[in-house]
Amino acid sequence: MDKKLKSIAQKLAKKFDGQLDDSLEQARVIVPSGKIVELCKELRDKHDFESLTGFSVVDYHPQTEPRFHLIYQFRSIAQNIYLEVRMELNGSELLVDSVTGIYPGVNWYEREAWDMFGIQFEGHPDLRRLLMPYDWEGHPLRKDYPLGYEEVQFTFNYDEIAKRKPSPKE
C-alpha cells in the first residue's frame, strides 16, 4: 500500500479514536459515530482530498451496537489515493450530521441513504425520497425488509394465482 496513504490513515485513526484495517491492500479507518464533519474538513483542507466519490450504508441487522456502518470513499487526485472511512451508527439513534456543506456532491447519496435505510441527515438542504415512489412506506434495503418475491405462475397453479393477480380494466 502507498506509504502516504498509510500515514494519513494512521494519523486519522489516532486523532478520531478509530482503528485502521489494511487487509486486501486497502486503507480503511473505522471511527465511532460523532465527528464526521470535522473529519471531512480535515481531509479536504489538510490532506488534499478534493472529492467524496461514494457514500453508502451497510446494515448488520440482528446486532444493534452498531447496526449500521456508513461508508465514505474519499479520493485525492493530486496524490492518487483512495481512502475509505467507516462510521459506526447504533440502531437507536439514526441522526447524522450532513457533509453537504463540505462536499456538495454527496447530496443525492444522503437522500438515497434516507430512502433506502431510514437514516436522517441534519443540515441536508432537501431530504426527500429519491428512488422509491413519493408515498412509499418503509426502507427497502434494510435487512428486515422482505425482498417482495412473488410466486411464479406455472400451469399447475395458474388458476389460483390468476384470481389474485391484478389485471387491467381496459
Partner 1 sequence: MGVEQKLGNLGFVTHKLEDVVNWSRTRAMWPMLFGLACCAIEMMAAEASDYDMSRFGMELMRASPRQSDLMIVAGRVSRKMAPVLRRLYDQMPEPKWVIAMGDCASCGGVFNNYAVVQGVDEIVPVDVYVAGCPPRPEALIHGVLALHEKVQTETMKDWA
Partner 2 sequence: MTMLEKVDVTLDELRHLVSDQALTGDTLLLNMGPQHPSTHGVLRLLLELDGEIIINCIPDVGFLHTGIEKNIEAKTFAQAEVMTDRLDYLNTMGNNLAYCLAVEKLTGLDVPERAQVIRVIFAELQRIASHLIWLATQALDLAAQSVFLFCFREREIILRIMELCSGQRMMTTYFRPGGLWRDVPVEFEEAVRDFIAYFPKRIEQYEGLLTKNPIFLDRVKGIGKMSKEEALAWGASGPTLRGSGVDFDLRKAHPYSGYEQYDFEVPVHEDGDVFARYMCRMQEFRESLKIIEQALDRLPMGPVRSNNRKIVPPPRAELGQSMEAVIHHFKLWTEGYDVPKGSVYQKVESPRGELGLFLESDGGPKPYRAYWRTPSFNHIQLFSWLARGHYVADLVAIIGSVDIVLGDTDR
Q: Which residues bind partner 2 (CB under 8 A)?
A: 23-24, 26, 28, 50-54, 56, 58-59, 71, 73, 75, 77, 80, 82, 84, 103-109, 125-126, 128-137, 140-141, 147-149, 166
The answer to whether residue 24 forms part of the interface with partner 1 (CB under 8 A) is no
Which residues within the stretch 120-139 sit at the binding site for partner 1 (CB under 8 A)? 131-133, 136
125 contact, one of partner 1, partner 2, none, CB 5-8 Å limit per kind:
partner 2
The C-alpha cell that represents 108 in the structure block = 443525492
Q: Which of 128, 154, 163, 168 binds partner 1 (CB under 8 A)?
A: 168
Task: Give the SS3 label for residue 87.
Answer: strand
Residues 6+ apart with CB under 8 A from 50: 44, 75, 76, 77, 78
Beta strands in the chain (DSSP E): 19-21, 28-31, 51-59, 68-76, 81-89, 95-97, 120-122
Q: Which of 152, 159, 163, 164 binds partner 1 (CB under 8 A)?
A: 152
- Helices marked H in the chain: 3-15, 36-45, 107-117, 158-164
Q: Which of 63, 149, 155, 158 binds partner 1 (CB under 8 A)?
A: 149
Task: Give the shortest CB-108-to-partner 1 separation in angstroms.
Answer: 16
131 and 141 in contact (C-beta within 8 Å)?
no
What is the contact surface with partner 1 in residues (CB under 8 A)? 131-133, 136, 140, 145-150, 152, 165-168, 170
